[in-house]
Amino acid sequence: MPCTPGLRNPFRYVTGHDSNGDSTFLLVRDHLPDQSGQIAPLRSSKTDHGDHRAVTLEQPVLRFSILDAGSLAHLDAESVCANIAKSLDVYVAEMTDEFIQKDGLLHISKYYPDVQLNTLFRRRLGLQAGRDIELLANSHPARLSIDRIGSIDSLFFQQLSDPTAHTALDPGYVDIDVRAVSLNAKDVYTMSGRVDTRNMTTAFDFSGIVTSVAPDVSHVAVGDRVVVSAPHHLGTAVRVPAGCVHKTTRNEEFTVMPSMLVIYPTALYALNECAHLRSGEFILVHAGSGGLGIAAIILARRIGATVYTTVGSDVKREYLINELSIPSSHIFNSRNSTFVQGIMSAIGGRGVDVILNSLVGDLMHDSWRCLADFGRFVEVRKRELIDAGKLDMSVFPCNATFTASDLCELFYSQDHFHRSIWDRLISETIQLYRDGAIQPPPIKVFDVSQVAQAYRSFLSKDLVVKIVISMEDQQARGPVSPPLYLSVFDPDKVYLLVGCLGGLERSLSRWVMTRGARQFVFLGRSGADRPSARQFISRLEQASATVEVVRGDVCNLSDITKAVEACVIAGRRVGGVVQAAMGLAESLFTSMTNEAWHTGIDLKWQGTWNLHNALQFHVDKDQENEPDSFLPTSSISETVGTATESNYCSANGFLDAFARWRRSRGQACVSVGLGMISEVGNLHKNPEIEILLLRKGI
């Protein structure tokens, strides 16, 4: 029967039964269009299955069976009667209450696990024990990931189905195949869970070969050898802003160049921009045998300052004496506060002019008290600074300054002035190296197949080398997990997103963009009225997306037509549709009003048909207008049933059947039965509903 405003709940007579254990048998027929494409009434027997599952939960004593007899065009009364009798016997023997007649045969509803698909799914999510050891060259692009934060042995490479391989570069960007990555302590701390980074980046500097450049980039070209300093996810391929990319020569080794691009710019910024170190001043460099410490010592000496330093072991002390010619009397212990008395005695109790600090806790405070008048204290580890507590204010009256230095803040700054400092520091470092004014730190190279060993090497208290991971060996193997996603969206097509400005749906919209989409038309009843929606749209636009918002109701065909017209204007094509509109009105089936019934039904039912028909109008004119994807968001509630939500279960049952029907016509459609998602969306805003669902075992 058609869905009209006056339609009462289907099979309402069921609720009139005494519910005393009597049997009720409902015969329904499939009203979805057949493959001839004839538009049929808006009801489907599959909605009745959703009702059935909800009602049987609300009235467990009711013996309620349902038989879908199929299309009227192929209905045979004799076989239907025979199957009704058979289904009553099966109900008793199998405790099964849902039946479908197809080609005269009776089918029952059963769910069986797809072992192969579930195995692949578990592998993609990292839930399957063990991973295949594969050629990393065959898994390109791939990104280093970790199963258990802090467990270096659980490092693996996550293969990417990267949309960047299929999309045009945004202005000012460059794609690079990575050849070597320099590890810093912060990178190791990130994988260990000790440090958080923006966007969960896990590496900073690397070298490689340019594979593509945006049209507005001219200082590098495809095939160039380059070195890059930019926060990124350690992987076999990286897309970065062009300003971070610097061309290198064939004589400059892949493994050597990135070893300098954090330590020297950090030291240059700390000593020149923050501390304004001058010739003749005294400087204390903590952790002098580390990469940053070595760079700071070399640069401070070049300025003409007198260097004092601390180390944590005799091996590190000997390295500084033998390799950097630091006098033994200028080297102190960083493991305890004895360095305070040592440094004050060495310089006559006046204190030091500049301190480059990487110590934590009480030792940081002890260092702070070593400053001379007009001294400058530069902290290079922000996390340790946050954890260290309050500073001793008595030091400040001596015109002391305390500065926190984090190179990442320069990179992420939207201020051109600060970004220009970043670019200048990198260029200056490379030029100093080419002029012979600085030297690379000692490095130890690990093949990418030894990535876990490379990270573990940081645990050594005697580490005096910079760790570099090489990806030059095309035969290198490692643990690889298959791609989490295979979907790639076309940036040249438009994606129509209905009801996708809410919490859960915003996360879906973001995911569509991460997979390559760049043009969006949103349809919603409130448009962009809500602050959260406006903020979300602004973020999409800042990420180079084109966004248009159409205010309208998916149940109104003229509103849908307007949204589709916005997608195809100026010869554009619809790449895909997400139908996420939903309405909730909870009530027991026996007391559900007609209005409440339609609140739960219409947005998914009428709205989906409106979308199909509006799109089909343009497809009939030009097959190129056929969307690549059509995604209605259904719910697991249709599968298991949810008491008090018979309308919602019914609507989702329709979406599942609608998806099967579109696919039978050769058109794209997948209905996704979402489970309970508490992080965003309706459950996040209504935790009491989550508690109720958990009690039901969902």
| CATH numeric code, 262-435 | 3.40.50.720
Chain segment 321-355, per-residue pLDDT in tens = 999 999 999 999 999 999 999 999 999 999 999 99
**Residues in contact with 171: Cβ distance below 8 Å, sequence separation at least 6, in sequence order:** 214, 215, 216
Q: List the alpha helices (DSSP H) in 332-415.
A: 338-346, 361-368, 382-387, 407-412
Mean pLDDT of 562-572: 90
Give the residue among 6, 8, 54 at the shortest CA–CA distance from 635: 54
Scanning the structure block, which residue is given the tokens 């609300």?
58
Mean pLDDT of 389-399: 85
Per-residue pLDDT band for 162 (boundaries 50, 70, 90) equals low
Q: What is the pLDDT of residue 218?
A: 94
**Residues in contact with 277: Cβ distance below 8 Å, sequence separation at least 6, in sequence order:** 271, 283, 300, 303, 305, 353, 354, 376
pLDDT at 226 over 90: yes
What is the separation, in whole angstroms, between the first and last Cα of the chain? Answer: 32
What global pTM score does this model have?
Answer: 0.68
Chain segment 183-214, per-residue pLDDT in tens = 988 888 888 877 778 777 888 899 999 999 99
pLDDT at 365 over 80: yes
Q: What is the pLDDT of residue 636?
A: 80
pLDDT at 81 over 60: yes
Q: What is the pLDDT of residue 220?
A: 97
Q: Which of 375-389, 396-410, 555-569 comes out lowest in average pLDDT?
A: 375-389
CB-based contact 582:508 (threshold 8 Å): no
- State the Cα–Cα distance between residues 245 and 252, nearest whole angstrom: 15
pLDDT at 550 over 90: yes
**Residues in contact with 567: Cβ distance below 8 Å, sequence separation at least 6, in sequence order:** 494, 496, 521, 574
Give the Å distances, CA to CA, from 438 to 111, 180, 255, 405.
68, 21, 17, 22
Q: What is the pLDDT of residue 236?
A: 93
Give the Å distances, CA to CA, from 478 to 121, 133, 485, 557.
20, 5, 20, 54
Three-state DSSP state, 485: coil
Q: What percent of the chain has pLDDT over 90?
A: 46
How many Cβ atoms are within 10 Å of 431's Cβ, its own excluded?
11
262-435 and 491-690 in the same fold:
yes
Q: What is the pLDDT of residue 619?
A: 93
CB-based contact 45:68 (threshold 8 Å): yes
Q: What is the pLDDT of residue 577?
A: 96
Chain segment 464-483, per-residue pLDDT in tens = 889 999 999 989 999 988 88
pLDDT at 11 over 60: no
Name the average pLDDT for the chain. Answer: 84
Per-residue pLDDT band for 280 (boundaries 50, 70, 90) equals very high
Per-residue pLDDT band for 1 (boundaries 50, 70, 90) equals very low
Chain segment 123-158, per-residue pLDDT in tens = 777 666 567 888 888 888 999 988 888 888 889 998
Three-state DSSP state, 246: strand
What fold characterizes domain 491-690? Rossmann fold (3.40.50)
Per-residue pLDDT band for 39 (boundaries 50, 70, 90) equals very low
Chain segment 530-547, per-residue pLDDT in tens = 888 898 999 898 888 999
Q: What six digits make up the tokens of 553?
A: 């109701």
pLDDT at 680 over 50: no
pLDDT at 523 over 70: yes
pLDDT at 669 over 90: yes
Classify burial at 252, counting beta carbons within 10 Å of its beta carbon; exposed 0-12, middle 13-18, buried 19 or more: middle
How many Cβ atoms are within 10 Å of 42's Cβ, its own excluded?
20
Q: What six digits make up the tokens of 648?
A: 């919602």
Per-residue pLDDT band for 22 (boundaries 50, 70, 90) equals low
Helix, strand, coil % over all residues of the chain, rounded to 5:
40, 20, 35
Scanning the structure block, which residue is given the tokens 């580390």?
290
Domain ranges for the chain, please list them: 11-108, 132-250+472-481, 262-435, 491-690
What fold characterizes domain 132-250+472-481? Quinone Oxidoreductase; Chain A, domain 1 (3.90.180)
Q: What is the pLDDT of residue 165?
A: 53
Q: What is the pLDDT of residue 13?
A: 45
Per-residue pLDDT band for 269 (boundaries 50, 70, 90) equals very high
Q: What is the pLDDT of residue 646?
A: 81
- State the Cα–Cα distance between residues 21 and 589, nearest whole angstrom: 18
